[in-house]
Structure 1
Amino acid sequence: MNAASHVAPVITAPNDSLTHDFPLRPFAIRHMLAGHPLLTLPRIAKLASDMPRDLIEYNSGAASITQDPDKVQTVDLDPVEIVNRIETAGAWMVLKRIEKSPEYRALLEDTLLSVARARGFDSLEDAGFSQIEGYLFVSSPNSTTPFHLDGEDNFFVQIHGDKTFAIFDNRDGAIADNAQVEYCTTKHRNLRYDDGFKPRGVEYHLVGGDGCYVPYQWPHWVRTAGTYSISMAVTWKTPEVRRLNDLHTFNSMLRGLGLPQAAPGQNAAWDGVKLAFFRTVRGLVEPLRKSETMRRVLRRIALGKNANYYLKT
């Protein structure tokens, strides 16, 4: 592990879940990251001041589980103020792609290396952990993260405060069908929640030192309790997940042109043609994303005029 780590960021799971359930089903985990110096409010405030502004998303924590993304309430504070006033700010905030900081990247890699070794692998590569990314969440008391799905696997670790984390099985498409999965992958992550989904869900009550594993594209919602919360998502994308995300994205584009597509995996040859074309075009566009201004423009083109609502002009 990285010698610079303050504490050994070891993830453990009961009942050998890292072997038997990973990566197909959610399960509870324990970790040793609570109290790590990189995960304290003063250090997070510094990170917020150093990060590109478009990699910090925030809004009011007074959201509903079913939240229309076009009707999200904003908070009239800058990111550093939100961190410093999180107990009373009434806000929800995520710092995205924290692995761009070498210190945080080392923390993420050490955390996943502990999982790799627990599963019998000697390296991240052997364990299939690639495209490692981190997302750091700071939330005020009684804040809600709406029902949504994400395009990566995730070890979610609770650092401070307590919250409810509810995860739902959508493997048969009964919660989100193929069109909705495409939309969440390409447009906005939020989904409509229905109480009828409850039998498909499992709820974890998390305090500092707790966490859970969230499988790829399993919908979930999160709600903090009566104190502020710090938590982190340690994510990665396997080559198969990257392939599925690329196909969902291209299929969504074709659906927007009136050409709905079968789900990935139903026509392997056609999937290969679409994937090759999409990745070629994306390779031409990707250099533009190095500029924050162009990232804002591309986000607006892809997601609409309200896509950058959390960026002050």
Structure 2
Amino acid sequence: MIAEITATEADFSSRFPREPFATRHNLADHPLFSLTTLARLAKTLPRDRVEYNAGDVAPGVKPEDVPTLDMPAEEVVHRIEQCNAWMVLKRVEVEPAYRALLEEVLTGVAEKLGHGSLEEAGFHDIQGFVFVASANATTPFHVDPEENFFVQIRGPKFFHIFDNRDRSLLSDEELEMLPSKHRNKRYDPRHEEKAQVFSLQAGDGLFVPHLWPHWVRTGDGHSVSMAITWKSPRAERLNTLLRANGLLRKYGFPQPAPGTSPLMDGVKVAAYRAMRAVIEPLRRSEGMRRTLRGLVFGKQANYYYGEKKA
């Protein structure tokens, strides 16, 4: 059976990639998402690719107030039905089986969009993030720097998503990126008047546009989900600009919003990419990634290494 995501032709033709829309998929019974397999993955991934904490938090919880768990990652997965936890396994495409699955799914999407290949469709930097969460757990309000087909594998989940074009939700400064900035964003409960809420069960999914704010909660049973992500050329360029603006602001040089000065935007993008080209070969090991983040962005860039406490 070919792994695939389906949606209406109208959604693919008129909403993609600008607006969210509901999808379906056939991954719910895939063996790569059994708890036994995911526990083994949690144990073998590099430590900076595994993040977990207690799940009963508010959508607007402050990063420093997120309660951690004193438990090995693989045990969290095995005990997910009882331990009140939220976990994300990052960059699972480093494992060949997951990489093959991601590419199979997105190749099918590319074909539905009329493209002959992933490259032609603009699906660059394909990554996978697997979420394992207990009942009634919350992923706080945040944005993601990727485009994303989110698939619900097991259990219920409720996905609250907001229009990124509405600057009353998040300012341009709040969208700037730095490893030292936690992904959780300022949240106002009054935002909910503007939310689209997608109720997901196993087999359901959702297209999540680049940088659209959202928060997610599970229902009365434990949940397994996956974000199938990529970066289009447009998203890659905007991410680079937001990182450059965030770095300049950190050192006392706040920048205007993207698009205010296209010429200066181009200069900042080129300079940041040149800097990354020098650093990137050094980031191949977990130890060097941790050291570089700390040197350039401060110790808060390694927040997910914090000592686990109950």
Normalising by structure 1, report the TM-score. 0.93
Task: Check if 1:43 corresponds to 2:37.
Answer: yes
- SS of equivalent to 2:302: coil
**Larger deviation, residues 123-132 vs 137-146:** 123-132
CA distance in 2, matches of 1:92, 1:142: 10
**What residue is the counterpart of 1:82 in the other structure?**
76
CA distance in 2, matches of 1:298, 1:49: 24
Alignment of 1:124-135 (within 5 A): 124-135=118-129
The superposition leaves residues 42-89 of structure 1 with CA deviations (integer Å, 9 ceiling, x where unpaired) of 111121222111110111102110011112100111111011111011
Alignment of 1:216-255 (within 5 A): 216-255=210-249
1:15, distance to aligned residue in structure 2 (A): 5.8
**What residue is the counterpart of 1:162 in the other structure?**
156
* Cα gap change, 1:85 to 1:191, in 2 (>3 Å): same
**Over aligned residues, Cα RMSD in angstroms?**
1.7
* Cα gap change, 1:183 to 1:67, in 2 (>3 Å): farther
**Larger deviation, residues 296-305 vs 269-278:** 296-305
**Larger deviation, residues 298-307 vs 249-258:** 298-307
Partner AA of 1:117 in structure 2: E
Question: Out of 51, 54, 65, which is 1:57 matched to?
Answer: 51
* Cα gap change, 1:173 to 1:224, in 2 (>3 Å): same
Task: Check if 1:207 corresponds to 2:201.
Answer: yes
1:186, distance to aligned residue in structure 2 (A): 6.4
1:196, distance to aligned residue in structure 2 (A): 2.2
CA distance in 1, matches of 2:5, 2:300: 38
- SS of equivalent to 1:216: coil
The superposition leaves residues 115-145 of structure 1 with CA deviations (integer Å, 9 ceiling, x where unpaired) of 1111122211111111100000100111000
* Cα gap change, 1:41 to 1:302, in 2 (>3 Å): farther
Partner AA of 2:91 in structure 1: R
1:299, distance to aligned residue in structure 2 (A): 3.2
**What residue is the counterpart of 2:85 in the other structure?**
91
The superposition leaves residues 132-188 of structure 1 with CA deviations (integer Å, 9 ceiling, x where unpaired) of 000001001110000000111110000000010010012132211110000478622
Gaps of 5+ in 2: none
- Identity rate, percent: 50
Alignment of 1:97-112 (within 5 A): 97-112=91-106
CA distance in 2, matches of 1:267, 1:293: 38
The superposition leaves residues 209-234 of structure 1 with CA deviations (integer Å, 9 ceiling, x where unpaired) of 00111100000000001111000000
1:291, distance to aligned residue in structure 2 (A): 2.0
Task: Check if 1:260 corresponds to 2:254.
Answer: yes
**Larger deviation, residues 291-300 vs 100-109:** 291-300
The answer as to whether partners of 1:185 and 1:245 remain within 8 angstroms in 2 is: no
The answer as to whether partners of 1:136 and 1:233 remain within 8 angstroms in 2 is: yes
Instruction: Return structure 1 stretches of 4+ with deviation > 4 angstroms.
Output: 183-186, 301-304
Task: Check if 1:70 corresponds to 2:53.
Answer: no
**What residue is the counterpart of 2:191 in the other structure?**
197
The answer as to whether partners of 1:130 and 1:237 remain within 8 angstroms in 2 is: yes
1:303, distance to aligned residue in structure 2 (A): 5.4
